[in-house]
Amino acid sequence: MTNPKLNRVLIGVGGGIAAYKICELVSTLFKTGVEVRVILTRSAQEFITPLTIATLSRHPAYTDDDFWKPTHSRPLHIGLGEWADVMVIAPLTANTLAKLAYGMADNLLTNTVLASTCPVLLAPAMNTDMWEQLSVQRNWQQLLLDSRYHGMNTASGLLACDRIGAGRLAEPPEILAHIQSLLHTQGKRDLAGKRVLISAGGTREFLDPVRFIGNPSTGKMGLALAQAALHRGANVTLVHGPANWDVPLGVQAIPVVSAEQMQQAMLEYLPNADVIVMSAAVADVKPRDYSTEKLPKRSLPQALPLEPVPDIVAQLAQHKQPYQILIGFAAQTGNIVKPALEKLQSKKLDAIVANPIDQPDSGFGSDNNQAIFLDRQGNQVAIAPCSKLEMAHYLFDFAIT
């Protein structure tokens, strides 16, 4: 996702073994059309070189040596601070964190942060014991009180020091998604304090342990909705069917398989939600009979008896409170508006996404999407093909703000 008016990202790299992951981030950003500049702290150069960064970003890396060189142009930290639409500090070390928390500026990176006004994305990485120190957590919480700073959770796992625990740097695709969100929102947190409940993916209705009725949904749209809501400050719960992706750090995930399981989970979490987005592709029917053992091929019925599954979105509409916003999806072929309007009215939704699944690079399994948004007030907005994350932000722009 890129915005022609907001496509300049400045990355500050701290000194830690996780710095090598930033090479992938820089390369991917450049490939998506974002203009990238990188500041390497002195300790970061012990892990990756200015030449590596310059090659990947197609621009020389900035170091403290550049900061202290005499120049006849404007001061470097002022120019960089004004240039950036979004700043990223990754890996954020305990040392840089402490400096930022207390407004200190003794190198190019910290001076540039203070000379800028754009959103700053922080992705910490350090040893578990270091991350869990009271002083480090105090600095972290203090820094996040400033609305400019957007913090990413650390992941848990095997660290380079052979410790298993929290402190791993978020993976580059997750950092990239957060950058793309900030480029769209310009750092606004209009969902802060809101609880967003999202369903994602397809459900499976089994005939026996190995055969089921399902659909091609991968849950990528629901994943993008969860990312967008999280990046806008929401508390996110994601009820999802079988999926081949990682749940974003900070999102509460409720994995399910069948429509009945999804129904139970959605109704359980509904009372505490402010916004509900039903993006899952729920099966319409299920086999009437289930065999606990695999049926031999010769025993499969010529005509499979079916019965309907619960209409989850209709049940959500029946139980929702006036202050809650319920958004549905209508995956359609051909004329997508008419059936979406009918569903909007019959299910008593607040808004609906009419989603064409017969268009190239759109719908099930694709990284991109297109749609027409409709609401109960008669508003209609057509969204041209774009990334699913971008569409998720457009949906929240349309239905929430």
Which residues are annotated binding-site positions for CTP?
284, 294, 310-313, 329, 343, 347
Looking at residue 290, the DSSP 8-state letter turns out to be -
CB atoms within 10 A of CB 345: 11
Copy the structure tokens of residue 237. 């719960």
Strands (E), 333-379: 351-356, 368-375
The Cα–Cα gap between 296 and 80 comes to 68
- Return the axis-axis angle of helices 21-31 and 50-57, rounded to nearest 10°: 20
Rounded to whole angstroms, the Cα distance separating 281 from 203 reads 7
Rounded Cα–Cα distance for residues 218 and 363 (Å): 10
Nearest C-alpha neighbor of 151 from the set 211, 84, 231: 231
Cis peptide leading into residue 4 (ω within 30°): no
* Residues in the annotated binding site: 284, 294, 310-313, 329, 343, 347
| Residue of 23, 118, 161, 386 with catalytic role | 161
Whole-Å CA distances, 345 to 274, 356, 375? 20, 19, 9
β 149-151/155-158 pair status: unpaired
Q: What is the spatial distance between Cα 297 and Cα 276, in angstroms, rounded to a whole number?
A: 42
161 an active-site residue?
yes
Active site residues: 161
